A and B are shown apart, each in its own frame.
Chain A
Amino acid sequence: MGEEAIAERPTVPRRQPHVLIADDSTEQRWTLRLALSMMGFDVREAADGRELFWALEELSRVGGSEPSLVIADVYMPAYDGLEVLEAWRESMTGRAVILITAFPDAVVSRRAEALGADLLPKPFTLRAFSECVRSSLRRARAPS
C-alpha cells in the first residue's frame, strides 16, 4: 500500500531538489507541501511510518541523490519516524534530515543527534521551518 501511494506521486521535474515528507496528519502534510513547493521543492509524501519505511527501502534499492531532504514526524502510527530513519541509517548519509516532534525530550534529542538530523519542535512557524530546511540542506551539501 505504501509503495503504491508513493509510486503515484509525480516525479517528473528532476531539476528541483526532492523532499520526502512523512507525517500522519493530512492537513500538516498538505500545508508543508504547499510551503515547500513555494520554496521550489518537489515534494513526495508518506502518510505514516510504514509508508516512510517503503519509501526509504525503495531509495536504498534505486539509489541516487534524491530526495536531498527527508522530513519526518517522530510520533506516527505503525512505526515512528525515528525508528524508520534509524533502520535506514545508511541511506541517510549525504541527505538532510529534519525530525518534527511535539515532545523533544532528551531521548529523542540524543537519537536525532546520532542520526545527524535537525530536530524541529512543534509548534513552529513557517519562517523557522524554511530556515531549518535551508540550513539542513546547506550542511548536507557541504559535509565536514
Chain B
Amino acid sequence: MWQALHEELEPLGLSIVTVALDLDPEKARTWIDAASPTHPSLVDSHHRIDELLGISNVPMAVWIDEMGTLVRPAEGASIQPSQLAAIEITDEMPPKMQAVLREFKQVPDTAEAYRAAIIDWASRGADSPYAMSPDEVIAASQPRSADHSRAAACFELGIHAEQRGDHEAAIIWWKQAHELFPENWTYKRQAWTIESTPDGADSDKAQEVQEVYGTSWSEAFLATGGANYTVAPNL
C-alpha cells in the first residue's frame, strides 16, 4: 500500500519512510519482505517516535518538508477505507462482534481525503492548503501532560526490563504507562500482543487473551468508541 504510493509520488519529490513500532524487529520482517519496499523501511523497537513526534497509534504519520520541518503533526494516516468498517452486520454474528463492527463504522473515514491531501502536497509543496506553518503544526499536535511524559518513561523501563528477560517487571512498568496515558494505543497494543501471540507466531492483532492486563483490545476499543480511536486528520 505505502510502496505503491511511494512509487506514484517519488517523481514529485516525495518519499515514504515507514517506521515499524515493534519491540521485536523480526515480527515486522514478514510484512516488510512482503511489501518489498524501495523506500526507507525502519524499525523503532523503543517507540521513540511516540515521544519525538507524538505518535500514539498506528497507522499515524507526519509530513516533513525539504528543510526538515514538520508541516503536519502526527495524525491518523489511513489511505484505504477500512475493510472492517465495510462489513455488513448480521444477527447471526456473536453480539460482541456486532458491537465491535458497529464501532468500526464510527471511526472517521478520512482515507480518501487524506490520500488526496498527500498528493496535493506532493504536487504543490508549501502552496498546498494542507501544509501548515510551524506554529500551526505545534498547536495542532496533541496535548502532552506530565502524566504522558511519565508514561513514556515507564514504557521505556518496561522495554529495558523485557530485554533483560524480566518479563514480570516489564508488565508492571507497562501497566503504569497504560494508566498514565490511556490514549496511547501503541503502549497497550505492543504489551498486549506479547501476551496473546504464541511463541514463534506472527503478532496477534486481536489481543483477546488479556488475563495479565485485565482487559482486551475489543473491550478497550468498545470503551473508547470508534469515534475516538484515531487522531483523525482535520483536512
- Do A and B interact? no
